[in-house]
Each structure stands twice: as C-alpha cells, then as structure tokens.
Amino acid sequence: MSEIRKDIVTGEWTIIAVERGKRPHDFKKNQAYGTQKDCPFCPGNEHQTPPEVLAYRDVDVNPNEEKWNVRVVPNKYAAVKEKKVVETIRGFYETITGYGVHEVLIDTPLHESTGGQFSTTQIELILKAIKERYMEIAKNEKIKYIQVFKNQGADAGATLQHSHWQIIGVPLLPDKQRHILDGCKRYYQHHQKCVYCEMLRYEQDSTLRIIDKNDLFICFAPYASRFCYETWIMPKQHLFDYGHLSEQHITSLAQIIKRLLVRYEKVFDDISYNICFMGSPQENMIDKYFHWHIQILPRLTNIAGFELSTGCYINPSPPELVAETLRKVDIDEL
Amino acid sequence: MSEIRKDIVTGEWTIIAVERGKRPHDFKKNQAYGTQKDCPFCPGNEHQTPPEVLAYRDVDVNPNEEKWNVRVVPNKYAAVKEKKVVETIRGFYETITGYGVHEVLIDTPLHESTGGQFSTTQIELILKAIKERYMEIAKNEKIKYIQVFKNQGADAGATLQHSHWQIIGVPLLPDKQRHILDGCKRYYQHHQKCVYCEMLRYEQDSTLRIIDKNDLFICFAPYASRFCYETWIMPKQHLFDYGHLSEQHITSLAQIIKRLLVRYEKVFDDISYNICFMGSPQENMIDKYFHWHIQILPRLTNIAGFELSTGCYINPSPPELVAETLRKVDIDEL
C-alpha cells in the first residue's frame, strides 16, 4: 500500500510506500548494487520483471523475450500503484492514496554501459520510448504530473547498476512544479514573454555559460547552479511539452546529450548524476509561458544539512568555470 | 569571493563560493575524511583554525590553547564572508554579495566521538554554545536568517570526521523558511492557533508516532516524514525562538537528544544524519504563529532524481513503524 501525505505547514507531499515497510536491516550498504548475476534488467532475465509495456526490437520475436534495444516495464517495487484516487483527512492531516504509474525504462541491454558509451542512435531510441510512454500515461486524466528521470550511479540514488530511467505519474502537482509554474506565469504577466526564452537570449549573447549548441538545442551551466557541474539542455524554440518532439528534435537532442555525457565522463571518473526532465502538466495558457528543459545534476558532493534545512544550496563550482571546463573537452571524434 | 544568486523562475537562492572554485580534481572521493593526523579540530591543532570566537574550558588557560570542551571558530572555508550586502541586477539575474557569518562549533575534543557517546552534560554545553552564538549573530541586523545544523558522517555531507556543527547567517530569508512561515501564518489566520501546538496535541492523543517525551520536550516521527527514520524534537510549550531557552529547557533538551541519538546508534551501525534547527527570523507576530523545533534527518538512502526534480520525497519507512522501532530500543541504562 502506498499513501501520499501532505506536510500541513509547507504543503510538501511525501509518498510513503507503506508496503515496502523498510526495517533497519534493509538499509545495509552496498547491497548487490553492481553484481551482474541475476540482474533483472539483463537480457535473458526478462521473467524477473513484470511484463513489458513497450519494447523496441530489430527482430521479430515475442514480447518479453530477448533481443530488445530498449524495454519499458512496470516497476516491481512501485512507489505509487493504488487503484483509486481517494483524498482523506486523517485527524488533522491530508492524505491521498498512492495512485499512479511507476515504470522502469531499461535503456540498454548491456549491464555495464554508461551514458557516454551509448551511440547517438541508442539515445534516439530512448527519447522515442520516453515520448511514447509519456503520451500514453498523459491520457489518464487522474495523473496530474509525470516525472521522467534517470539515477546514474549509487551516489545519485540508483539501487541497481544496470542503466535505466524511471517514469512516475502522480495524482497531484508537486510543490516544485507549482513554484516553477508560478514563476513562469509571473514573468509572463509582467513581460508578455517566456522567461526561459529570455534566459536563452541572454545566455547566447553573453556566451559565458554556454557549453554546446546545435541546430535545435542549447546546453549551458545555469546562472544559479545548485549542483557542482550542473547543466541544462533547452530547446532553442519555445516548446512547452516534450510529448510533441518531432523526429528532427529527437535526433538533435540525442546528439547534444551524447556530447554532454562524453564530456562529463572525460572530466570525471565514474561520475554519478541525475537527469531530470522538467516537464509540465496540461494547464490553461501553459503553451505561452512554460518551456520544457532537461536538468543534469552531477552528484559530486553530498547534499548536507544547510541545503536540507533552508532549500538554499552552497555550490563551490561557479558555472562560468564549469562551462569553460566542459566546453574545452575534446569531443572531436564524435 | 562569494555570491548569492537567485533562480529567476523558482526564486531559490544558491550561494556560489567563487573563490573556492573547485576544479574537477578537487572532487576525488574519500579525501582524508577520517584521518586523525593533523585534524584541525583536534586539541593541539588550534592554530590550524582561525582564532576562536567562543570556547568553554574547565581550566583557566589562554584562548586558542587546549583543554576546551566546546570551541567555536570562524569557518576557514566560509561559504559567506563578504563585508557588505550589495544587491545587483546582472543582465537579467538578481545577485547579492555573499555577506554573512559562517562558524564551526567543535562539539568535542575527541576525534572519533559520535553523538550517542556524548554525555548529557556535554550536550548541554553544546546547546549553551549554540544559544550564545545565535544571540550574538542575531544582533547584526543585516543577517536575516541563521541556520544551525550538524552533518554527521560522510553520507550526510560531512567533509571531516571530527564531530562538529555549523552556524550560517545569511542576508536573506531562504525559500524553505518562507514556505514554513507562510504555512504557519495561514493556519494561524484560519484557526487563531499555532499549527505546531495543534500537531503536538494530535500526536500526543494518537501516540502512534511518539518516540519519547520528558517534562519539556516531545520526540516523534512526523506524519509526512521525507527521510527514512526522520524524527522531530519539539518543545511542548509554545516557544518561537531557541535563543531564549532557559537552563531548564537546555537540560531537558540535552536529555531527549541524548536518548534519541543512543536509539539511532543502537539500531544502525555507523549512521549518518543531519540535525537541523528549524528557527525563524524576527518578524511581526512571529511569537504567535511560529514554534521552533529540531529535525533529525538520517541519510540511510540517497536522495535521487525524483526528489530533486519534484521536491516530493519517496519514503519506504512509514513513520508509525519508525516510532515503534525506536521506542522499543532499550535505553534503560541512561
């Protein structure tokens, strides 16, 4: 069973996975993280996951057999999976049943492959699969927000080494997305412009924090970077939704992601990071003021007490230095 | 040099410690974290820190000599340390100079001591020092908020093993504190009551999430716990500010902290956690609607992409189970 509980003061929601019910001995460190033996995401072990909801194969075999390039399955240990959205007041707290969708996108059949080793074609397939699942889940009107993200490496919260993404659809708009949308709306009301379009214009003029660009996308280190070596990838064009990416967008985005991940892997050994698709729910006028983008958050230092108690980050790597360092990496062979 | 930069969309602030300017090779893992040799916080190495601003000693020696029980020094690598508060608009971004105070409170002369091993008397001294520094820093009207916190263990962001706290005063109200104050105000306006007083009343009636209590404090697992085994310690009485703790409060608080840390250390080997003093700035009517408390956030799992992109946590340990587990720990010898 899972519940979504609201902090009555801050309004922040927490998903409490009641049925997981982790007890102290479940928190042993380094549990089988890297072992390939019996990895549920490796080809040949398809029976260890729930039946797939999507897979791309070059050959014509049955579902849940091998020979796939990308495979999406329901998460066996779903954080949200209740059948109904029921809101209750318990004493003086608010709770929603843990309704939702939680899927795993296994983005390579190779157990030890890291993002920078993926071919651009493989990244295109991954983006295509993300788009397809996003569009499918978005049909469910009870899902108010869909988060697509990747945890790469144990320091970034991955519990299995085999590379994968997660897609979580929840029956509410998370706090962070509410703040982002409020900020976008406020800017739009004052300036009749998209705040991210203006940011891109400013960054391209200044060039200080730009790392890479191609025909359709820009990669840069954001001005108020919270994480050491944080980068954002943003479409040049004002696009509010990644569910409507064209084939041309996917090709161009795959190329810029590949180049960025190679840069990271050349600069840092065994880097852990999160990739977060900053999407948006369907809302009135959202196409005017929201601009979707991707945030890549390296996990080079641990989040500490100051950040957790204030929400304010301390970052010892100025984004101007980060951009210069990543820009200079030799990626000519790509 | 340090700057505080605002995310133009979310309004979140990041402290960019420009002069630290960490380059890729600075992020090597396990750098000298646990080595006692030349530990700047050990007795005998007082010259390795800036001169102390406060120390408690049983014997009469000169400042910055040995024989201290608790010692507070300016942080040698301060995140904020500029001399003036200057707000600027840079192109289209807002920035404040990194004005502020950043101190380290070395809470034991013993290099390897952990919180649960401290005597209650030692914890009383620590609380007294926190109160003294807090009251001193609060006199500076340019400091709008003071955060007191402890990072225990590398997983909680500690970069030195020798136990210590940090005190950071910043020239702005962080985003998280703004949300907390807004929530408290909203509740007060609707109910003419403090939301935390009502929470305590409800929790004491239900008893499900209560871990411990004494004459003046209650320790419980919060209803919407974000972290596995998260606990809060709150004064029973409506107190808005820990700067005004009486001696009786300090004795009682030290006792309940000691008992909690022993419980954690009996349940988990080598546990990492953050202790966050959730204080408040001086604001009109704050004494009516705010109620200070302490949040203890164990770091048993890593914060991952879902949490970072949505602000919504997934917690596999229901607080009811956590309270039961911690309550049952045998601490009779204390």
Per-residue pLDDT of chain A (334 residues; tens, 9 = 90+): 899 999 999 999 999 987 655 667 677 655 557 677 789 999 999 999 999 999 999 999 999 999 999 999 999 999 999 999 999 998 889 999 999 999 999 999 999 999 999 999 999 999 999 999 999 999 999 999 999 999 999 999 999 999 999 999 999 999 999 999 999 999 999 999 999 999 999 999 999 999 999 999 999 999 999 999 999 999 999 999 998 899 999 999 999 999 999 999 999 999 999 999 999 887 778 889 999 999 999 999 999 999 999 999 999 999 999 999 999 999 977 7
d(Cα B74, Cα A73) in Å, to the nearest integer?
52
Instruction: Give tens-digit pLDDT for A112-135.
Output: 999 999 999 999 999 999 999 999
Q: What is the mean pLDDT of each run of 10 residues along chain B (334 residues)?
A: 94 86 64 76 96 96 96 95 92 94 97 95 98 96 96 94 97 94 96 97 97 98 98 96 93 98 96 95 83 97 97 95 96 79
Return the structure tokens found at B130. 């926190």
Please indicate whether, in this complex, the C-beta atoms of A312 and B12 are within 8 angstroms of each other.
Answer: yes
Q: Three-state SS for B28?
A: coil
Return the structure tokens found at B299. 């770091």
Closest CA of chain A from B146, distance in Å: 10
**Among B212, B204, B205, B184, residue whose Cα is nearest residue B196:** B184
CB atoms within 10 A of CB A332: 5
What's the CATH code, domain A2-22+33-172?
A: 3.30.428.10
Chain B residue closest to A95 (CA)? B224
Q: Which residues of A269-288 are buried (b: 16+ CB within 10 A; e: fewer)?
A: eebbbbbbbbbbbeeeeeee
Per-residue pLDDT, B32: 56
Q: Which residues of B are catalytic?
A: 164
Return the structure tokens found at A53. 């909801």
- Chain A hits for B310, CB-CB cut-off 8 Å, are 145, 147, 170, 174-177
What's the CATH code, domain B2-19+34-174?
A: 3.30.428.10
d(Cα A99, Cα A81) in Å, to the nearest integer?
5
Contact B279, B292 (CB under 8 A): yes
- Chain B hits for A5, CB-CB cut-off 8 Å, are 223-224
Closest CA of chain A from B60, distance in Å: 34
The whole-model pTM stands at: 0.96
- Chain B hits for A17, CB-CB cut-off 8 Å, are 314-316
Cross-strand pairs, A275? A150, A296
Contact B293, B196 (CB under 8 A): yes
Probe site for chain B from A1, A8, A280 (most B CB atoms < 10 A) = A8
d(Cα A181, Cα A318) in Å, to the nearest integer?
26
The ipTM value here is 0.97
Q: Which of B183, B223, B318 sits opposite A21 (nearest CB)?
A: B318
Please indicate whether, in this complex, the C-beta atoms of A267 and B228 are within 8 angstroms of each other.
Answer: no
Q: Three-state SS for B294?
A: strand
- Is A249 in the active site? no
Cross-strand pairs, B231? B296
Closest CA of chain A from B44, distance in Å: 28
Contact A160, A33 (CB under 8 A): yes
- Compute the count of residue pairs across chains A and B with CB atoms less than 8 Å apart: 275
Q: Print the SS3 string covering chain A.
A: CEEEEECCCCCCEEEEECCCCCCHHHHCCCCCCCCCCCCCCCCCCHHHCCCCCEEEECCCCCCCCCCEEEEEEECCCCCCCECCCCEEEECCEEEEECECEEEEEECCCCCCCCHHHCCHHHHHHHHHHHHHHHHHHCCCCCCCEEEEEEEECHHHCCCCCCCEEEEEEECCCCHHHHHHHHHHHHHHHHHCCCHHHHHHHHHHHHCCCEEEECCCEEEECCCCCCCCCCEEEEECCCCCCHHHCCHHHHHHHHHHHHHHHHHHHHHCCCCCEEEEEECCCCCCCHHHHCCCEEEEEECCCCCCHHHHHHCCEEECCCHHHHHHHHHCCCCCCC
Pairing verdict, β B13-17 and B2-6:
antiparallel
CATH 3.30.428.10 in chain A: give the residue spans.
2-22+33-172, 176-327
- Chain B hits for A313, CB-CB cut-off 8 Å, are 12, 14-15
Closest CA of chain A from B19, distance in Å: 8
d(Cα B174, Cα A84) in Å, to the nearest integer?
37
Please indicate whether, in this complex, the C-beta atoms of B92 and A17 are within 8 angstroms of each other.
Answer: no
CATH 3.30.428.10 in chain B: give the residue spans.
2-19+34-174, 176-327
Chain B residue closest to A323 (CA)? B23
Probe site for chain A from B166, B223, B324 (most A CB atoms < 10 A) = B223
Please indicate whether, in this complex, the C-beta atoms of A316 and B156 are within 8 angstroms of each other.
Answer: no
Return the structure tokens found at A163. 């590379």
Burial class (CB in 10 A: 0-12, 13-18, 19+), A192: exposed
What's the topology of domain B176-327? HIT family, subunit A (3.30.428)
Closest CA of chain B from A69, distance in Å: 23
Probe site for chain A from B18, B23, B27 (most A CB atoms < 10 A) = B27
